[in-house]
A and B are shown apart, each in its own frame.
Chain A
Amino acid sequence: MALDSKIPQGHISEKWTNHKNNLKLVAPNNRPKIDVIVVGTGLAGASAAASLGEMGYNVKAFCFQDSPRRAHSIAAQGGINAAKNYQNDGDSTYRLFYDTIKGGDYRAREANVHRLAEVSANIIDQCVAQGVPFARDYGGLLDNRSFGGTQVQRTFYAAGQTGQQLLLGAYSALSRQIGLGNVKMYNRHEMLDLVQVDGKARGIIARNLITGELERHSAHAVIIATGGYGNVYFLSTNAMGSNVTAAWKIHKKGAHFANPCYVQIHPTCIPVHGTNQSKLTLMSESLRNSGRIWVPAKIEDAEAIRAGKLKPTQIAEEDRDYYLERRYPAFGNLVPRDVASRAAKERCDAGYGIEANDTNEGVYLDFASEIISKGKQAAYTQGDHNPSDAKIQELGKKWVEEKYGNLFTMYEKITDENPYETPMKIYPAVHYTMGGVWVDYNLMSSIPGCFVAGEANFSDHGANRLGASALMQGLADGYFVLPYTVSNYLADEIRTGKISTDSPEFVEAENAVRQSIDQFINNKGTKSVDYFHKKLGLIMWNKVGMARNEKGLTEAIEEIGKLREEFYNDVFVPGAANEFNQELEKALRVADFMELGQLMAKDALLRKESCGGHFREEYQDAEGETLRDDENFAYVAAWEYNGSDASKSVLHKEELKYEFIKIAARNYK
């Protein structure tokens, strides 16, 4: 099947408006007759369910957590971008569009990104109207901060809990619709398959996680908003439950999976401490506004620090290598995430890492200079023009606490070190996946009636996502895109009537799910699910991680294949199918990761260039920067499923045409 991205004609700034004007509508009296399923209740899912419910559709929303409010959007810290230009620093829709395309290393679809930039301002209006308590200045107006890859202040925030506040806003909108009876919420339900009738998405099979019961739910359209697949690495900043299952199930049913190799490794996470570690904790990118990243300039100092003989505060200023400021003077510590991550890896690989773990992987994020500068400023505004060092420290720390207090507390809880006194230790970790289910301009996958929103789709971030853009995309998709495009699709469904769940398609899908569950329960192997998940994660991190090469990727494909076989033969899932069974939940998810991991390696292997989060060691310039190959790889790699062995997957290419932005080498110097 050829890929039709359905990008509207016309000038970039008019595409969305024109498109909206031409989309079909469903009259209010017809909407209650139409069922829509929304899987996932993060920013994209909750906002979509709330909006569609509010329009009058009969919405069923599903989440595997105990409440829609727990979705992992809640963990986003730093902020949300919007082209409001409140700070009068030259921001505009075009600039946000441009920054996002450039940040994505010219691998995103222009039309989608421009639409994202257009609706960004609406999102802020909407959220404020909902009572989202964004940070404000003393004049009572909204405050902004700066984020990586931009030279303006367009990031709105609520301390270090922006994702939480936005999600709770969307959750409140969703709750309102649940209270009104427009949305029926299914907590602790996991979608385990998509049901298609005559090629169209017509429902899902969901497992009630409390009773283990398999349920059939029918609908005229299905929206998948189940987030990213970073947990394929086992260790990531994702929640423990984050998984690819819903997205993978629709992939198996015909939806193409695009650019799986685009994974964002976030530069500022707390380094790994031991083998029992279950997840990695992010320290918001916003910290790079105030913190300076460095490693010792002398290798012997790095060794001494690792051995515990030297403290970072004992290293003299001239013996520190602020490598981001050195390499990228224009953006300094605020280079995009992929650039910052690779630079950290480069230093650590060269032996300058400061963390005393197995891999010595860690660099410093130091707030000492900021504490002094803000302390001086604060003293000055208090009328003290000649403050003592102690006073400067006190005021500076107070300023830092107000700005980043919760992050500093979090850091201290985890590491038992006080970041006000000693620099934070950080290291990159898997954070976000730009790749995902391929969708057209309407956010519909290659399965008619199956829409994909938020991180689960591939659409807006190209090969690298800029900070504070994920929240923007989730809400844009859910509040301002899907309500229009889904309605357009549903306009042809007003005569369909209620869809029966007794059809052979539903029966078959349910049986297939039951079979795969029984297979695990009856397997009686010897090893836990986590054992395999950790093994998979290690392969992925080492060979499909921050730096990739042909040899490693080829090995990864083979190793994952073998591991998958071993997994099916030897995994032990205790308990029964018809009960609350967390090991079974994990097994079903890991099974999908096993297939996805292989596809990621294959996609990475085929993409013989370096771009954004995808760095092939073979393709770099003399300074170690990414070397893109626009001639051969300016396309979206959309994979068609062809059996569990991903090496047999079929590649479809969607050419990326840059009509409005001049494609260029990314330069942050």
Chain B
Amino acid sequence: MATKKNININLKIWRQKNAKEKGKMETYKLDNVSTDSSFLEMLDQLNEQLVNNQQEPVAFDHDCREGICGMCSLYINGRAHGPDTGTTTCQLHMRKFKDGETIFIEPWRSKAFPVVKDLVVDRSSFDRIQQAGGFVSVNTSGNTIDANATPINKQDADKAFEAAACIGCGACVATCKNGSAMLFVGAKVSQYALLPQGQVEATQRVLNMVRQMDEEGFGNCTNTGACEVECPKGISLENIARMNREYLKASMK
């Protein structure tokens, strides 16, 4: 709103027909991109141009476009969710780019996130980790105890919330040079470890979730800290440390 300006850009985009076929980087030129546009609106514009030329548009994942659903991904100019920090790709705006700039756009790269098409990857490995233990085993009877029966220290509740703010986008895996999912798993383990409701199953939860994570083919954490920097929700490395503690505790039992 503040600055109305249009720029012309060059795009280098990964194109891959499907999971089986090999892909490659393709170059596109896109003119008159408003700097007030979001990055995905820029891709919409590109796709409109492609469709109008009877070409196949670029497939990319997106849904809420307000940075909360975690569906959008994209490795932009060598960084997960692009050059801005604390944002998802859908919140990234074209004012962060210069006129005439060449922008690289690639899918998340991880063995556990196989490419579906172009920039779309399959992140169901995250779901399977969640299914292995990312829950509190409480039935939906509504006959649980009153919500205020167990006071929870505000600091713990706030920390649990901060961990729970993870949107499951996979940027941590994408940016990690080892393709490790520890920030994602650490955040989920932490959320429950910090709350009394999660204590009961703490041992099994951390063991099962880590086992599933390892089985999915994610790499190992070497504490480079890239995930924390690139996480659009600012999930802290503290959560990985907490998971390490929880795992140690669980293993001793």
The secondary-structure label for the interface of chain B is loop
A240's contact among B62, B132, B133, B142, by CB below 8 Å, is which?
B62
A278's contact among B44, B68, B124, by CB below 8 Å, is which?
B44
Q: Are B192 and A131 in contact (CB under 8 A)?
A: yes
Q: Are A168 and B71 in contact (CB under 8 A)?
A: no
Interface size of B by Cβ–Cβ distance < 8 Å?
A: 85
Q: Are A66 and B64 in contact (CB under 8 A)?
A: no
Q: Which residues of A contact B198 (CB under 8 A)?
A: 131
Q: Which residue of B lies closest to A575 (CB)?
A: B56
- Bound: A84/B52 CA distance, A: 56
Q: Are B93 and A416 in contact (CB under 8 A)?
A: yes
Q: Which residues of A contact B120 (CB under 8 A)?
A: 66, 580
Which residues in window 37-94 of B have CB below 8 A to A? 37-38, 40-42, 44-45, 47-48, 50-52, 54-57, 59, 61-71, 84, 86-87, 91-93
Q: Are A172 and B51 in contact (CB under 8 A)?
A: no
- Bound: A516/B3 CA distance, A: 44
Q: Are A47 and B63 in contact (CB under 8 A)?
A: no
The answer to whether A142 has its CB under 8 Å from any CB of chain B is: yes
The answer to whether B140 has its CB under 8 Å from any CB of chain A is: yes
Which residues in window 123-138 of B have CB below 8 A to A? 123-124, 126-127, 130-138
Q: Are B135 and A135 in contact (CB under 8 A)?
A: no
Of B98-106, B157-165, B237-245, the one with at least 4 CB within 8 A of chain A: B157-165
A91 to chain B, nearest CB (A): 14
Q: Are B34 and A274 in contact (CB under 8 A)?
A: yes
Q: Are A128 and B130 in contact (CB under 8 A)?
A: no
- Bound: A580/B17 CA distance, A: 9
B91's contact among A240, A277, A410, by CB below 8 Å, is which?
A410
- Bound: A580/B47 CA distance, A: 15
B123 to chain A, nearest CB (A): 6
- Bound: A54/B140 CA distance, A: 8
The answer to whether A664 has its CB under 8 Å from any CB of chain B is: no
Q: Are A65 and B65 in contact (CB under 8 A)?
A: no
Q: Which residues of A contact B252 (CB under 8 A)?
A: none
The answer to whether B18 has its CB under 8 Å from any CB of chain A is: yes
Q: Are A86 and B148 in contact (CB under 8 A)?
A: yes
Interface size of A by Cβ–Cβ distance < 8 Å?
A: 92
Point out residues on B near A: beta carbons under 8 Å. Answer: 1-3, 17-18, 34, 36-38, 40-42, 44-45, 47-48, 50-52, 54-57, 59, 61-71, 84, 86-87, 91-93, 95, 116-117, 120, 122-124, 126-127, 130-140, 142, 144-148, 150-154, 157-158, 160-161, 164-165, 167-168, 191-192, 195, 197-198
The answer to whether A116 has its CB under 8 Å from any CB of chain B is: no
Q: Are A279 and B140 in contact (CB under 8 A)?
A: no
Not counting A274-B36, A582-B57, a sample of 11 additional A-B residue pairs whose C-beta atoms are within 8 angstroms of each other reads A66-B123, A67-B124, A70-B63, A123-B142, A128-B150, A133-B157, A141-B148, A158-B164, A210-B117, A274-B34, A416-B93
**Known A-B contacts A187-B127, A583-B57; A140 and B152 likewise in contact (beta carbons under 8 Å):** yes
Point out residues on A near B: beta carbons under 8 Å. Answer: 47, 50-51, 54, 65-72, 74-75, 84, 86, 119, 122-142, 158-159, 161, 163-165, 168, 171-173, 175-176, 178-179, 185, 187, 210, 237, 239-241, 271, 273-274, 276-279, 281-282, 355-356, 409-410, 413-417, 425, 479-480, 483, 527-528, 530-531, 572, 574-575, 579-580, 582-583
